[in-house]
């Protein structure tokens, strides 16, 4: 919001500067307080279309500056978003790997008992302790 407010102030300043320039250049001379005569300005007579051209040029320059500013902010923001996404993915993968490692340790611990039970025909089959996570998929 602060960036937008700054851009609005900049546009207003450009309009005010162009209006002041138009008013100053519309007169043939500027009177100085202690001067006996006036100091002539450049012999420029700005028409209304020239004034509008000047105003639109100022607005175009300001909008270009705002666009460049938005581009720079977007570039820094995109880099920050990429870094944050990488951190989130690493955290999720690490958490899932811990669960997988725990499950593998549990299976490894019970595997020799299950194989012995099947080999000697005692007790259960390998499907008795089916993984409920696999059934959901």
DSSP conformation class of 137 = -
From 92-101, 104-113, 115-124, the region with the lowest mean pLDDT:
115-124
pLDDT at position 91: 94
Question: Nearest Cα to 44, choosing from 30, 65, 63?
Answer: 30
pLDDT tens digits for range 31-83: 555 555 554 555 556 777 887 888 888 889 888 988 898 888 888 888 888 88
Q: Burial, 64: exposed, middle or buried (Cβ in 10 Å; 0-12, 13-18, 19+)?
A: exposed
What is the predicted pLDDT for the residue at 31?
Answer: 56
d(CA 54, CA 97): 64
- Provide mean pLDDT across the span 17-41: 60
Residues facing 39 on adjacent strands: 30
Res 15 pLDDT > 80: no
- Residues in CB range of 114: below 8 A, 6 or more apart: 124, 126, 129
Mean pLDDT of the chain: 75
Note the pLDDT of residue 137.
Answer: 46
Residue 109 half-sphere exposure, CB side, CA atoms within 13 Å? 6
């Amino acid at each position: 919001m602060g960036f937008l407010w700054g851009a609005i102030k900049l546009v207003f300043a450009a309009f005010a500067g162009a209006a002041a320039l138009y008013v100053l250049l519309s007169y043939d001379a500027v009177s100085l307080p202690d001067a006996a005569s006036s100091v002539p300005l450049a012999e420029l007579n700005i028409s209304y279309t020239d004034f509008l051209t000047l105003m639109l040029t100022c607005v175009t320059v300001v909008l270009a500056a705002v666009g460049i500013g938005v581009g720079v902010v977007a570039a820094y923001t995109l880099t920050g978003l990429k870094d944050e996404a990488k951190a989130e993915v690493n955290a999720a993968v690490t958490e899932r790997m811990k669960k997988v490692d725990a499950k593998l340790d549990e299976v490894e611990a019970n595997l020799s008992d299950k194989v012995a039970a099947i080999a000697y025909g005692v007790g259960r089959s390998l499907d008795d302790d089916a993984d409920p996570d696999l059934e959901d998929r």
